[in-house]
Amino acid sequence: KIRRPRSSVIAVDERSAEGLTREHREALEQQAATNEVLRIIRRSPADAQPVFDAIVESASRLCGAIFSAVYLCEDDRFRIVATNNFSREATRQILEHGQWRKPDRSHIAGRAMLDRAITHVSDVLADPEYSREWALAGGWRAVVAVPLLRDNKPLGVLSVSKAEPVPFSDWQIQLLNTFADQALIAIENVRL
């Protein structure tokens, strides 16, 4: 019978406790952020902009992202309606290409809109379809986008980006899905 030294058992227990503490803190932060978005929806049911602004700020912060955006779709085009931490170079490119853009596979929001599915690329510079110019201008490597769907029709997209080629976690993607649902509620409230 092999006996483990007591010190290694204590070290394992401390790591487990640290992990549980981190998960608990993340869950509380997520709950606080989603509750804040719901409060904003209740306070301004006829104006979705404050909701979009709160979502992009919380999404960036909670996902460890350098950038986040909400896009709205109209017919076969989309435009940015809210951003958090967008670089000057990326802003310049948006202005050069015009606000309304046709979706294509060179951009994460375009892919999510076309595929009508959550789209995740852990390193855009290794993806042959993704626009290197766009990624370098924005300074991001990992991206994820969640479409805002109603009856399988895209009304918008929520996207976040990281500077490092590190995949987003399942927890982060689920959080973004929750924010996308809240953005849909805000859009529907304005339409009503």
> In this model, does residue 30 exceed pLDDT 80?
no
Tokens coding 121: 């690329």
> How many other CB atoms are found less than 10 A from the CB of residue 149?
18
Across the chain, mean pLDDT equals 85
pLDDT in the model for residue 74: 86
**Tens digits of residue pLDDT in 34-74:** 778 677 777 877 899 999 999 999 999 999 999 999 999 98
Which of 14-18, 94-98, 147-151 has the highest average model confidence (pLDDT)?
147-151
pLDDT in the model for residue 44: 77
Amino acid at 153: K
Asked if residues 116 and 147 have their Cβ atoms less than 8 Å apart, the reply is yes
Tokens coding 44: 């301004």
> In this model, does residue 176 exceed pLDDT 70?
yes
Q: 74: exposed, middle or buried (C-beta count within 10 Å: 0-12, 13-18, 19+)? A: exposed
